Chain A
Amino acid sequence: QITLKESGPTLVKPTQTLTLTCTFSGFSLSTRGVGVGWIRQPPGKALEWLALIYWSDDERYSPSLRSRLSITKDTSKNQVVLTMTHMNPVDTATYYCAHVSDSTFRSYFDSWGQGTLVTVSP
């Protein structure tokens, strides 16, 4: 059974850097094809994909947020870390991490974490 859980600060100030950790079980990020992605959702709004890292260390980023994002993995700890710089109140959202089992265009987010709400406020 695959599980993922997001952790990190619930409140950050504008201009600060956000660091979120996704801790998972039930799979290994050293297995070919596997990846973990981050998706966010502002209150009452749609899902927005942010970034994804594959077993091969291949990193993918949303073009609109690429300059602010960094995604890394620690295979031994079963963790993926997302950092987002220059936080702004518009970045207030629930941040989800999710699993993909295929690195091709056939893939999909088959398991999601519960999400963590991050509020950006002075």
Chain B
Amino acid sequence: SYELTQPPSVSVSPGQTATFTCSGDKLGDKFVSWYQQKPGQSPVVVIYQDTERPSEIPERISGSNSGNTATLTISGTQAMDEAVYYCQAWDTSTAVFGGGSRLTVL
């Protein structure tokens, strides 16, 4: 079965750039979505179709996808960005989630 691999944790200082990776075989050939989940809350989509951002998501959040790796970038990271971030893609009509990366803002 298809797998998406994410590092368990990402740490940045306030104002710095946080970078999350999501790896999978030929992932660049698929569309990737990213979800933010804060403690006790349901996930919220922050990026879809690799690079698209819902209107309510700030412009400092962006995505890319190429080769075997999709990337989520948060510029000017704030304390409010602390959450777990999950990538998701489709493989043979089934959805696959990555294991999630926890963002800590130091």
Q: Which of A's residues lie within 8 Å of B, judged by CB?
A: 37, 39, 46-49, 52, 60-64, 96, 105-110, 112-115
| Cross-chain contact B1 with A46 (CB below 8 angstroms) | no
Q: Does B14 contact A (CB under 8 A)?
A: no
| Cross-chain contact B88 with A60 (CB below 8 angstroms) | no
Task: Provide 18 A-B residue pairs closer than 8 Å at the C-beta atoms, listed in order of the A residue.
Answer: A46-B98, A47-B35, A47-B37, A49-B88, A49-B96, A49-B97, A60-B93, A61-B94, A63-B1, A105-B31, A105-B90, A106-B49, A108-B33, A109-B33, A109-B45, A109-B95, A110-B48, A112-B42
CA distance A114 to B97 in the complex (A): 19
The total number of A-B Cβ pairs within 8 Å is: 59
Set B1, B44, B95, B98: member contacting A52, Cβ < 8 A: B95
| Cross-chain contact B31 with A106 (CB below 8 angstroms) | yes
Set A46, A107, A110: member contacting B99, Cβ < 8 A: A46
Chain A residues with CB under 8 A of B37: 47
Looking at chain A's contact residues, the main secondary structure is loop
Set B42, B90, B99: member contacting A96, Cβ < 8 A: B42
Interface residues of B in 82-100 (CB under 8 A from A): 86, 88, 90, 93-100
Q: Mark B18-52, 1 if CB is under 8 A from A, else 0.
A: 00000000000011010101000011110011000
Set A46, A49, A60, A106: member contacting B100, Cβ < 8 A: A46
Least CB separation from B54: chain A residue: A110
Assuming the contacts A62-B94, A110-B45, asked whether A105 and B30 have C-beta atoms less than 8 A apart, the reply is yes
The 7 nearest A-B residue pairs measured at CB: A108-B33, A49-B95, A108-B48, A112-B42, A47-B97, A105-B90, A46-B99
Set B31, B35, B93, B98: member contacting A109, Cβ < 8 A: B35
| Cross-chain contact A64 with B1 (CB below 8 angstroms) | yes
Chain B residues with CB under 8 A of A63: 1, 94
Chain B residues with CB under 8 A of A64: 1
Set B33, B42, B93, B96: member contacting A115, Cβ < 8 A: B42
Q: Given A47-B37, A106-B49, A114-B42, 12 other A-B contacts at CB below 8 A?
A: A46-B97, A46-B98, A46-B99, A47-B43, A47-B86, A48-B97, A49-B96, A60-B93, A64-B1, A108-B88, A109-B45, A110-B48
